[in-house]
Amino acid sequence: MKLKELPLLDIFNSLQRHGLPLEVEEYLVLMRSLEGGFGISDRQELEQLCCMLWAKSEEENRLIRRLFDHLWKQIESHSVNSDFSTRKISESSSIETSISKASSIDESLPDLETTPTITPEPVQAVQAVRSSRGDRQMKRPRYMLLTEYFPVTKRQMKQCWRYLRRPVSQGVPTELDVEATVAKIGREGILLQPVMMPPCTNRTDLVLLIDQEGSMVPFHDLSRQLVETAERGGQLRTTNVFYFHDYPDEYLYRHPAMLDAKAVSEVLEEIGERAAVLIISDAGAARGNFDQERIDSTKVWIEQLQKSVRYFAWLNPMPSECWRQTTAGEIARFVPMFEMSPQGMNAAINLLRSRYVSGEVAYSWLM
């Protein structure tokens, strides 16, 4: 069966009816991921992609896999010869076309004990999802937010950014220096005048280098959350964001659509030696590939980065167990790489503050 004929929308709607707080955008993220060539190699990869995008817990993960089990059994019972493992979605196909050609599973799908049937009637994703909202209004509160789907929530991101501090006292002495004042009282036996000090300000300059497109498509929203929380709640002196694909070659880009190019050498000259540089990329782990050219090219620009800045770290949205025998695993041997989790992000921040403790969630599996 062709990929476009898989009733993914019906699985999505069934998950909504089972109470999963999914919205239209999350279905469209799946479509964009498939169009980008992610999750189309075989059945297992497609299931893994859906679980990664839609499941928040192990229970939800099992539910998705049970629905897929019913789907595969139904396909096999119809003796449909699928070329799914070798076909890819055309890059020129629009998201709407892929969605409108998706076939449907019978509405009895919410009952997992009932075998679903495939119907050829085409559907429009947005209309179908919107029409199902009425059935879900009583099942979940409206205030549930997509932002809490990510492995690191917005609240956790903001807390991590606030730990990224290099306080410096400067300016007019306007704040009470409690310790110095107490010491003065101890020496003189009386308080005639308190000791004042200049206010402390955070002098941290953060630079985010974010991988775009390709296998990073499912993580675009996660990257946007990182940027938003750093800029609005990070309490940093400056936050600069640049984008690249796979690895920076000659240029970095200020716009996620790879617009407004700037030479890598020029960027490194401007950001300063004490800037904290955080790289966000799956490093090839999402597809499980091993690309020696990407490893070599990444090593070249990391060496260039090391000559320019003192503090840098790598956040990988894929779990560390997925790095083994992939490009990411090799890159993690010469770059401090951390998985995207509250613990991993905290460890990366500690490294950027020069307070990292060896084995603190990072690439300890390599040790």
How confident is the model at residue 214, as a pLDDT? 86
- Supply the pLDDT for residue 297: 94
Give the DSSP per-residue string, 192-237: SS--EEPPEEE--EEEEEEE-SGGGGGGHHHHHHHHHHHHHHS--S
Note the pLDDT of residue 257: 86
Residue 263, helix vs strand vs coil: strand
The pLDDT value recorded for residue 301 is 92
The pair of three-digit structure tokens given for residue 194, joined into one six-digit string: 């308190």
Task: Give the pLDDT of residue 327.
Answer: 95
What's residue 234's pLDDT?
66
Distance of CA 305 to the CA centre of its chain: 23
Structure tokens at 211: 């991988």
* Residues in the chain, overall count: 367
Find, among 180, 175, 242, the residue nearest to 209 by Cα: 242
CATH of domain 203-366: 3.40.50
Q: What is the pLDDT of residue 298?
A: 95
pLDDT for 313 equals: 95
Domain range list for the chain: 3-144, 173-197, 203-366
What is the spatial distance between Cα 23 and Cα 27, in angstroms, rounded to a whole number? Answer: 7
Q: Tell me whether strands 118-119 and 104-105 are parallel, antiparallel or unpaired.
A: antiparallel
* pLDDT on residue 166: 67
pLDDT of residue 169: 59
Q: What are the DSSP calls for 106-133, one per residue? A: -TTTTSTTSPP-EE-----HHHHHHHTH
How far does CA 324 lie from the centroid of its chain? 19
pLDDT at position 138: 38
Q: What is the separation of C-alpha 8 from the centre of its chain, rounded to a whole number of angstroms?
A: 23
The predicted pLDDT at position 226 comes to 92
Average pLDDT for runs of 10 along the chain of length 367: 71 84 82 81 85 83 88 73 46 42 40 39 37 41 44 86 71 79 85 78 84 89 90 81 92 90 92 89 91 94 91 93 93 94 92 64 46
pTM value is: 0.56
Question: What does DSSP assign to residue 146?
Answer: G
Question: In sequence order, what are the beta bridge partners of 176?
Answer: 196
**Residues 316-326: b if buried by 16+ CB within 10 A, e if exposed:** bbbebebbeeb
Residue labelled with tokens 């909202």: 133
Please tell me the distance from the alpha carbon of residue 328 to that of residue 283, in angstroms, as a whole number: 5
17, HSE (Cβ side, Cα atoms, 13 Å): 18
